[in-house]
Amino acid sequence: MLTLTFLGTSAARPTVERSVSAIALEREGETLLFDCGEGTQRQMMRYGVGFSLSHIFFTHFHADHYLGVPGLIRTFGLQGRTEKLTLYGPRGADRVLGAAVELGFDRWPFQVEVCEVKAGDVFARGDYAIEVVRADHGGPAVGYALREAERLGRFDPEKARALGVPEGPLWGKLHKGETVEVEGRPITSKDLVGPPRPGRLVVISGDTAPCKEMIAAAEGADLLVHEATFGDEEKERAVETKHSTARQAAEVARAAGVKRLVLTHLSARYSVATEGLLAEAQEVFPETVVARDGMVVDVPFGETGDGKTGVASASR
């Protein structure tokens, strides 16, 4: 399972319909949080995201992306948390997040570690890695890519039975690439296992103007989550503030050859009326949706169905 829950989809300030930036990514029972705008802990409760997370990744340190940290840490403490919490962010993380942590602490019995990151860093985490991607936002800013390791090829049980391989441990050995012996006959993995299958790739842009680094990181991604602060009528404002329009986000998705694009970080002027943004993006990249608070996006393996990422809405 790999799902994203959009906890906050507004840019700069909350609106009645939208909270500020936060995305929860849940994968195989683990939860990662990307950005933590004000009120994130309430959004987590509202949309059923558990508090058993140990890693929060910040894209940059504009207030709408990190002011939820003190409240979340305080909630953790009141719940009796003991596990370490690690906060990742670009240059300035020690100063900004350190101050935010102090606001939330009151002798809580758990450790908070701050880890400063830079573009090009890779954090290997078992069968996946978090890659740090340069963003273009006029200061220290990054995006993140979650890239799964290559998976084993598909095992053919019918062919195994036809070759006389008994179901059980020998199947597991063959699937892992080992050669086994059955009644004096060697059976090799290549006889029963298909080619390796790619893992999934999810990219979260953070706040950024369109940039080549994000295109490179998102090449072939199953899902690209890209900011779309403005529509075409505000493209000059987007240039001034180092943000993207919906159309520009779609151009990034098209250039990268991604399967699905989700637009987020919308200016308050589009809080309700998102049809125009969607239309502008879909002219360039049809497989686009506009996020809303509480929306849940499932990212299946590309080999299932038509290989596109499914999108389902959570209850509100």
Residues designated catalytic: 64
Strands 223-227 and 128-134: unpaired
- DSSP codes of every residue in 227-258: E--B-GGGHHHHHHHT--BHHHHHHHHHHHT-
Q: How far apart are the first and last CA of the chain?
A: 22
- Convert 131-164 into a string of H (helix), E (strand) and C (coil): EEEECECCCCCEEEEEEECCECCCECHHHHHHCC
Please compute, for residue 2, the number of CA atoms within 13 A of its CA located in the half-sphere on the CB side.
Answer: 17
* 220 neighbors 266 (Cβ within 8 angstroms): no
Angle at 235 between CA 230 and CA 240, to 5 degrees: 95
- Rounded CA-CA distance 34/9 in Å is 12
- Rounded CA-CA distance 155/84 in Å is 39
Strands 201-204 and 288-290: unpaired
- Rounded CA-CA distance 98/273 in Å is 38
Query: Which residues are within 8 A (CB) of 232 and not within 5 positions of it... i.e. 6 or more apart?
Result: 245, 246, 247, 280
- Rounded CA-CA distance 304/211 in Å is 31
